[in-house]
Each structure stands twice: as C-alpha cells, then as structure tokens.
Structure 1
C-alpha cells in the first residue's frame, strides 16, 4: 500500500475535519437534499406537514426527540402517513450519540430501500441530524468520514459539535479496520 493510500485510510484529526466543514460555506435553506431521497432539516421543517408531503417525505428521524426537545413523535405524523424514528439526543459535546448510529442508519437504509424519502432533523439541522446522516453514509454507503462530509457539505452547511465529530472519527477508524480485514479475508480466500 502506498503512503498516499495509507493516509487516505486514516481518519483525519478533528481540526482538519473542522476546516473541511467550515470551507466553502454558503447560505442553505431550512431543508436540503444531501443524498438521493435523504434530507436534513430543522424543527420548523419537521413540523410543516404540508411541506413534508410536497417533498414526498415518508420517514422522519427526529434527532432531538423528547418532551424537553422537539416533542413530535409518531402520533404527530399519523395523519400524514409518515413513519417516525426518535433519538433523544442533547447537542452537547459530552453526549454519546454513537449508540444511535447503527439503529438510525438501519432505519434510513430500510426507508430508502422501500423507495421512501427521509427527513433527518434536529433543532437547526446542523449538529445532531448531520452527525446521524454522516454515520449513515459511512455505515451503509461505505464512505469515509471525509467523503461523507464532502457529500453533505455540497448541499448543506453542517457543523456537528466536537464530541460528535470525535465519535464519528472513532466510527471511521472502526469501519476502516473492518474494510481492511474484509480485503485481507477476500485476498486469502482467492489465494486459498
């Protein structure tokens, strides 16, 4: 493996990620499609059922679920025929969002596999929701953290808090190791 390939595999330091997230920022709306049929938006978007229907949203992930946050829940969307997944997360660097990465990625993946359209939101659509979408792209689309950040940042300004960025860096490292192990196993099987 060349040193260029090796460095591409390594998770960048947090300061480099912040630089990437702050580069080329431009005004973005309340909701943006960041991946085919996958949208990131704010709380106002999530509460606007007419807008959701116009966008064709079939599934909502609320990354700020709960009575102290954005308390919509499945009952709010019942008449709109929208499936709901809530994550009761706090936007602070000490909150561990990583236990929700896989279950949320599974929910989004299942929705997209059924030709659905998914809105992932939090209060402003910048930190919690962005972190969950980045995790989805890493887990289900096989992107590295840097690739996922670039994809999402093309359509929306995002800035997960420093704690979430570090959790995503850890996920990136774990997934990179798994990819290496899978490649090694595949090479071994072909040779054996």
Structure 2
C-alpha cells in the first residue's frame, strides 16, 4: 500500500460542528509530515501534471506551500504563493476566496498575461479556493496548463459546472468516523 493511502486510512478523525474531518499532514500540518510521504506525493504529481513549458507553480497559502515547494525543487519551476495579505505591489491582483468554511481576500503577485502556470493545492473540498484562483488567473490572462490537488473530498464542488478539470492523487470520504478511499488513483 502506498504511503499516501496508508496515511489517510490512519488519519485521526475529529468532529467540529457535527462534521467529521480527517487530520492529515498534507492538509493540516499535523501529525508531522514525513519526508517519504512528501517525496512520494511530489513524484506522483510530476507524473500526473502537464509541466511542459510551465513558467510558474501557483499555490494558495498556507497548506499548498510545502507541496508546491517540493514540486518546485524537483522541477526547477519557480513558485508563486497566493497570500492573504495585501502588499500593494504593482500588478497585484485580489480575489475573494469562498469555501464552505470561510471567506477571505487573497492576493496574487508575479503572474502576468501569457504566463503558463500550474495551480496546486492540498485538498479539493468545496472548490471555492481553486475556483477563485482559476478565475483570477484567467482575468490576468495567464494560461492555466493544469490544476492539481493532492486529496479530493467526496461531494460536489464549485468547479463541477466549469471547464476546469482538477487532477487529484487520491479521493476520499469520511464515513462513520473513518476515512474511506473512494478512488485510490484520483481524478484526471
């Protein structure tokens, strides 16, 4: 069994407001992230992603940073982090991130029209974050070569009615207080 699948099956489950969440090093930063798991995920992302002629990897803060950093180091593709803080730099683009849990402003710097980018996030749940990011990148005029998430939670997303296809490494659900793997190879 691969490390990602095993780590999800072993993930602690917590309840918050009647909803059961898995706690995982990729999505939460706890339990600790073992280098072997990060390396496995990075290799699988390289195999799954369209990285041909990509100029930048784009990821939202905070939980996409560690995965995107590893991908950047392995591919020599520069990394752009979408921040929750406004810096006021020239060409900064703001976007509203709406998820099932919150709403906030985020800011993209260093992406220009014509840039070929890959968007990478830790988890696809409601799709609100990835939808806001892909809409903002389209507005800027960037060419989104690929959109990736390591883990997809079961259920509909805001991207279902769009042309955006998100490639995932593994798809899961939480049933009766346990993580259930719904597709161990993900989407795409």
Which of the five TM-score ranges fits, normalised by the shorter chain? Answer: 0.3 to 0.5
Higher gyration radius (CA): 1
TM value normalised by structure 1:
0.35
Larger RCO of the pair (alpha carbons < 8 Å, separation 6+): 1
Structure with greater helix percent: 1
Structure with greater strand percent: 2
